[in-house]
Structures are given as C-alpha cells and as structure tokens.
Chains A and B, each alone.
Chain A
C-alpha cells in the first residue's frame, strides 16, 4: 500500500510535536471536569458523568477535524507535497495518509474522557465496546470532514473555519443541552447532522441499549463518513490539479 509510507511520515510528524498532542488529548478531560463541576452546582441530568463522557468526546473530535485539516492545509502549500504529487500516489492515498495517524489521537481522547468520567462517577449499563466503536466511527467521520477543510482552505483560513466547526459541533451535537427540549429548527438541524446521532447512540448504549437500538443513529454517522471522505478526495484532486 503506497499510502503507508506517507501515513508513517505524517504520524512521525505528529508525535514529534508533543505539545500539540498533549493539547489534543488533554483538552477533553479538562472539559469533562469543567462541565461536571457546572452540573454539580446548577444541577441537571445532562451534566452527569454518564451523559457528559460521550458528549465531551464528540466535542473533542471537532478539534481533531481542525488539527487534521491544519496539517493537510499546511503541507498542501509545502514543497514536499508538490514533490509527492509527482510520485504515483493518488488523491485517495493522500486523504487516507492524512487521516490514519489521527485515529491514534482519537483513541487516546476516548480513553482519556472515559477515564476522567470514571473518576467522576460514570455508570455503564450497556456494552462499553459498542460505545467505543460508535465513538471511533464518529472520530473517523470528523477526520473525513477535516480532509475536506484541509483540501479547500489554506492553513490560515482553516484555523478560523475549524473554530467555527468546534462551536457548531458543540451546539448541534446536543453536547451541553437536551435537543428534545429545545426542539424546532434547532433540533431539526442537529438531527440532520451526524454529531447528535453519535452522542445519542453512545449515551443510549451506556444506559443499557443494545446494538439493535442504535442502528439508525449509526447509519447517519456511517453515511456522513462516506460522504465526507468522497468529498475530501474530490476536493483534494480539484485543489491539486494544475
């Protein structure tokens, strides 16, 4: 597989910058504590560790979108990438090579969030393995979105657009509020995007639902994942074609 060599390079590029990894993995548990503390003082069902852990994890993936997009956008302007464009690598190879390394960060984020959750009283009634898989799929979906942003925007633009994505995900993912109670257009938008579906599915499984109960939610996430990656490859091809 041709993309492996480039994926390894990107992985090394990433881990040799330990500060940003610390930031990416350290941030979600910090948010866990903040919102849990908020819940402790104001109350509310949504700010318990069990409800928060999936929400904060998905929120953390929005940072993954930004970081993977920044890496791709930065390299797209570099001489190295234009040299690599003269090698037999295809657009799809580039897209895979720029997403794969971040899956490790995603796994660390999930583990960090749930470890912090456990300290704060997380309760698990369902299969934690399914929760992990749901969240991992959501992470890959977010990386797909990152490949689109990283292909279309420049490094400077992507920082701004990425911040917007983070706010967007936290609002429409139903991370900090119950979508059902808000209702209306807001809920409509939220449930036509994958983020709220992933949060719901993970929460449901934690509460004891089985795999059969979350297939609709999973289809939403899976569908968006495929669409994002296909668009990512097309955007990359469009932006790198002379």
Chain B
C-alpha cells in the first residue's frame, strides 16, 4: 500500500512523499445493487489542504465521505486517512476525524452546551477542556446567547451551526464537511464561509458542495465529480483556465450603433451585442484598439472589464449540463 504511487489526475504540484497526504483513495468504488455511486475514484489530498468535491446531487459526494469516515465499506478499492486503511483500522481513523453530516445532526432535547459536551465526552476530553472549547465555539458560531436552550427550539441556521460546532470541538486532524451550508439563507451562508475560511491551513478539510461559489470561495483544490467519477481536478483558477484560452471583455457603452458592432466583429469574430454594451471573446484582446475603434464610431465608453470564466462554464463544458437543475 505504502509503495503504490498513484498519480493524481490533475497532475498538480503534489508532494511526492506519501506521508504528506492526509487522504488518499485508490480506485475506491461503491455499488448499491446495479447503481455505481462511486466509480473508481483516485484522490490525493494534502495535509492542511481545503479540498472540495463539487458535483450535482447524487454524484457520489456523500457516499465518498461515508466511505472515508468508515460508515460504508467500499465495494472495491480502498482509501487511507492519515496513513490508516479505512477497512483495516476504522477505530484509529475515528479517533482523528470528525464529520459534519449533510443532515443537521444534533440532540434536540439537549441544549447547545450539552450537545458539545456529548461529543467531548466521547472523545475523552477533560471537563476544563470541554468548557473552554465549548465557550470558544459557541462564540464563534454566534450561539452564546441561547446556549442554554434546548436545541430543538433553534432556527434551522442555528441548528446547522451547532451541528458544525460539534464537528469542530474534538479538534480533529481531518474534518469532513458534507454540504455545510445546505439550507442556509445567503447571509448565513456567507458567515459560515467566513468561519470555514478561518480553519484553512489548520486542518485537512474535505468539503462537499453543489454550490459553485462555495467551492470557488473556499477550496484550495476542487475535484468535479459526476456520476461517481472525477471528471476534472485542479485549483479553481486552473479549472477555469482549462476550459478555454480565450478571454472575454465586457464593454459598457452608450451610442453603440449596429455599424460599430459589425466593425468590431471584423476585428474579433466572437464579438456580440449585449444589454447596454458589447462582449468580446478572443485569444488576444487589444484594449487600445477597442477603445480607439469605438470612440471613432462615436460611442461613449462607460466601463470595460474582463470577465472570468466561471465554474458554471467549466461544469457546462465538461458535462454538457448545468450544475443546478
């Protein structure tokens, strides 16, 4: 196992020493009857990396996480977490990981303090340590004020934050966050991102999401998963660059005549009219030439900006479908 040299699909600048990997999967596969939920996935996640599995519902993200935290046995292949094999040493792995499951997982009749104490007790933390960490995490998650109320009375967002606090309190070396912002409103989602961002570099985090913005904002590297297979892997920027060498410029301008757009099309065949301006796609874009040409045609330029390709575009190109239905 230790000798095997699995090459990472993205062929990124990965450490060559196997011990630097927190999580490695070796053609890991899970079948449920005829359905192959995870299909020969090879991943190598570095220690301290924030790695995101991005894909639509049913792509195999949660199944992958469940296998890595020893809840599901793989049908074929295997994986290691901090060097421990998931099938041979599940208890050693359970000591050093924690999971925030996709569903909010809290004890409804316990208050926030008691929920956190439950997890601390299982991991054998001292009373003093339990109190100190609980205090910090309740503060971090904005739950201090209502910490003595039973959790079933909390709003969905508060329950979610408590559920994530419970995953953090054992201070795990490896943290699995399965759809951490599912069901949160946009504002709560942003504040959750900030909290996850704070953990960056401190522990290895495997985060699954079907929100592109989330993977883009948080992850060091992203693996796009579809129908159980990894179809792309790299940093967010690499993924965006990978789909095309062309750059896109958006020019907002007044007094744009059809004539001037036709003129632009002669210079840049992929130029097209958009609301209040023009969008130009090309390998090389000359700022000066575009400005000069448009002004010579009597247009007043209000703004010019480069449009980054989005992960949406990446996903669309790779799978031929939108990520969100």
Which residues of A pack against B, CB within 8 Å? 2, 4-6, 8-9, 12-13, 16-17, 78-80, 82-90, 241-242
Contacts and interface: CB of A to CB of B under 8 A. Distances in A.
Which 6 A-B pairs rank lowest in CB-CB distance, beginning with the nearest? A5-B121, A242-B72, A79-B105, A79-B103, A83-B105, A86-B69
B87 to A, nearest CB: 11
B122 A79 contact: no
Interface string B96-120: 0111010111110110001001111
A241 B73 contact: yes
Given A88-B123, A242-B66, A242-B72, A16 B150 contact: yes
Given A6-B118, A8-B121, A242-B72, A86 B99 contact: yes
A242 B73 contact: yes
Interface size class of B (residues with CB under 8 A): 20 to 34
Given A83-B105, A242-B66, 8 more contacts: A2-B122, A5-B117, A12-B110, A12-B114, A16-B109, A86-B98, A89-B122, A242-B72
A6 B115 CA distance: 10
Nearest to B125: A5
B27 interface: no
B197 interface: no
B66 A83 contact: no
A73 B236 CA distance: 43
24 contacts: A5-B117, A6-B122, A9-B107, A9-B110, A12-B114, A13-B107, A16-B150, A79-B104, A80-B107, A82-B101, A82-B105, A83-B105, A83-B166, A85-B71, A86-B71, A86-B94, A86-B97, A86-B98, A87-B94, A87-B119, A88-B91, A88-B95, A88-B122, A89-B122
Given A83-B105, A242-B66, A2 B124 contact: yes
B110 to A, nearest CB: 6
Contacts of A241: 73
B70 interface: yes
A84 to B, nearest CB: 7
Contacts of B106: 80
Nearest to B69: A86
A16 B152 CA distance: 12
Interface string B61-75: 000001101111100
Contact of B121 (A4, A82, A86): A4
A172 B52 CA distance: 59
Contact of A5 (B72, B105, B120): B120
Nearest to A97: B122
B122 A84 contact: yes
A85 B109 CA distance: 20
A52 B120 CA distance: 46
A83 B107 contact: no
Contacts of A90: 91
Contacts of A82: 71, 101, 105
A35 to B, nearest CB: 35
Given A87-B119, A241-B73, A78 B105 contact: yes
